[in-house]
Amino acid sequence: MKHPAYHLRPNKAVDRLTLIDAIKHLGKLSDLSEYTYYGFGGPTLEDFRLLYEFHPEIRMISIENNDETYKRQQFHAPCRTVHLKLKKTEFKTFLARYEANNKKSIFWLDYISLKYAHLEEFMVLLGKVSPYSVIKLTLRCEPSDYFGKDESEVSRKKQEFQKEFQEVLPHPSDEPPSAFADFAKLVQDMAQIAAQKALSSTTLLKFVPISSFCYADGAGMFTLSGIVCLRTQQAITESAFRTWHLANLNWHKPRVIDVPTLSTKERLHLQRRLPRGPNAGRILRNSLGYLIDSDATRTDAKLQQYADFHRYFPYFIKAIP
């Protein structure tokens, strides 16, 4: 099975590391050794590698259906099977059999498409996990998917979108926006409605958002992390993440990840001038003395991104094996 090089995509790498950081704050609520992480690891199991590096006390289970990808996972496994189990199965099958048994979980539903079936699986999972479990949901969020060569094709795609997602649209007439950030906000609204349907006000549990981001690494993506908690414990749960600078506890619009391409020398130069506040982009541009994008405004925006996410910025290094 052909896979994009997820482990070499900088915005995806930032998103992956923000989850690692969120888990650190989760430790304020529960002992991390009580958790099991479930994810779609892909061929190189990159998120599992990072999780084992930063939080080795967490048990891990990878869910994969493709034969060849499963073989590659066996080759790339970052640790012995006592810490990591590789399951060859469809997630739908796994979900049907999954029982929390009062054990805490961390799930990353890392989808590469936008389908109502994915939101249905999200809803089913919400109804199964134990309190203080975390679910991260990633969905494709690409406006160009819903635009075509002529008006009739565009109209057809919009109608298909409305029909497929009618159960979770804020308004029946909502259409896929042409602007990426607006589309990401609509997808977040759909996820919020799905969570509210799964855990209605009559239940003891509630899904509380932790963070949300949107980014493009070849295609637009939206990603949301949240925690399932008792309604009576919502304030305590939110307090564990309130000091996190990337937290989104109130369903505000997703934060854009769009980190710049910088040389190692540039990063070392800029690193000494961080952290900075909201004007970091301009300050870092003046420090460099040149533009890294088409104009000063775009350069400032890119360097502000670096200031905001420099702790999560990956290094891709050429090496001689």
The backbone region for 40, taken as left when phi is positive above 0, alpha when psi lies in -120 to 50, beta otherwise, is: beta
In whole angstroms, what is the distance from residue 201 CA to residue 205 CA? 8
Q: How confident is the model at residue 3 (pLDDT cuts 50, 70, 90)?
A: very low
Read off the pLDDT of residues 194-250 as tens digits, 9 standing for 90 and up.
999 999 988 899 999 999 999 998 899 999 999 999 999 999 999 999 999 999 999
Entry pTM:
0.92
Q: How would CATH label the architecture of 6-257?
A: 3-Layer(aba) Sandwich (3.40)
Is 2's pLDDT higher than 70?
no
Residues 6 or more apart in contact with residue 260 via CB below 8 angstroms: 292, 293, 302, 303, 305, 306
Asked if 89 and 63 touch (Cβ cutoff 8 Å), the reply is yes
Q: What is the mean pLDDT of the chain?
A: 93
Q: Which of 177-191, 242-256, 261-275 has the lowest mean pLDDT?
A: 261-275
**In one letter, which amino acid is 147?**
F
Q: Tell me what pLDDT residue 73 has.
A: 93
Read off the pLDDT of residues 155-181 as tens digits, 9 standing for 90 and up.
999 999 999 999 999 999 999 999 999
Give me the DSSP letters along 82-141.
TTEEEEES-HHHHHHH---TT-EEEEEEE-SS--HHHHHHHHHHHTTSPTTEEEEEEEE-
Residues 6 or more apart in contact with residue 35 via CB below 8 angstroms: 26, 58, 59, 104, 105, 106
Read off the pLDDT of residues 271-294 as tens digits, 9 standing for 90 and up.
999 887 788 999 999 999 999 999
Residues 6 or more apart in contact with residue 53 via CB below 8 angstroms: 78
Q: Tell me what pLDDT residue 7 has.
A: 45
**What residue spans in the chain does CATH classification 3.40.50.150 cover?**
6-257
Q: How confident is the model at residue 317 (pLDDT cuts 50, 70, 90)?
A: low
Asked if 7 and 76 touch (Cβ cutoff 8 Å), the reply is no
In whole angstroms, what is the distance from residue 132 CA to residue 28 CA? 11
Q: How confident is the model at residue 149 (pLDDT cuts 50, 70, 90)?
A: confident
Asked if 302 and 258 touch (Cβ cutoff 8 Å), the reply is yes
3-state secondary structure of 212: strand
Which residues partner with 62 through β-bridges? 39, 86
Q: Tell me what pLDDT residue 314 has.
A: 77
